[in-house]
Amino acid sequence: MLHVDLTGRTAVVTGGTRGVGAGIARELLAAGADVVVVGRRAPAALPGAAGRTARFAALDVRDPAAAEAFTAGLDRLDILVNNAGGTPFLPAADGDARTHAKIVELNLLAPLIMARAARPRMLATAGGGAIVMVGSVSGVRPSPGTAAYGAAKAGLANLTASLAVEWAPDIRVNTVTLGMVRTESSHLHYGDEDGVAAVARTVPLGRLAEPADVGRVCAFLASGLAAYVTGSTLLLHGGGERPAFLDAATVNKENA
């Protein structure tokens, strides 16, 4: 039976200290990779799996010089997962322009900075490398209240497609486009357990994704099982969101 084996590979996961990033780090560890998680602050506990623990490196992924120094200091680099990102709820007309620019910087420019920094180290490694971008359904549908974030994630998918062509055949680049994921911060978005359950009922598969679901897909895309996969976007959203017209049609039918 085919299985993901990343033994001997070194993987870097940005924003890998908690939430989705920690789930990705754990699945890469379980597949045999040596994992370095990066963030601006050291976590209370590092992700672990299969009896091993990820290493931590302090890094601002928006700083090109720091990113280049970090990757140059690695013994090898086979896998980069650009997971760091996020946004507050901020309608486009609210806040100052710099805040919106920072959202784009974190969610689009930082992945480009990290990918550029990783490229020389990957090219120096036998077999090249694999980059996985973590996108969002906010980049493929309207994103009211998080317009800058949605625009950045839309740009991330295009960045993936472009880098996949420019850097082939040595480096494969793909995107995992996420729907809703249940993490330790879910209550900030969906409320208590009843709120999470109500949101889960809107997903065709009946639940939110777990960080491990995301991690397993990233491990697959980074592995030899995906050796002919590049420039692709994989939707990981449990079937997506129920179209609003179906609810409207149900209401109209009931009122008929």
Is 228 an annotated catalytic residue?
no
**Active-site choice (149, 167, 190, 220):** 149
Phi, psi of 158 (to 5 degrees): -70, -40
Tell the burial category of 83 from Cβ atoms under 10 Å away from its Cβ (0-12, 13-18, 19+). Answer: buried
Name beta bridge partners: 14.
38
- Please, how many CA atoms are within 13 Å of residue 20, restricted to the half-sphere of its CB? 27
- DSSP code of residue 58: E
Phi, psi of 11 (to 5 degrees): -120, 140
Q: For CA atoms 141, 12, 20, 168, give the dihedral sign.
A: positive
Q: Which residues contact 43 (CB under 8 A, 6 or more apart)?
A: 17, 18, 56
CB distance 72 to 48 below 8 Å: no
Query: Could you list the active site residues?
Result: 149
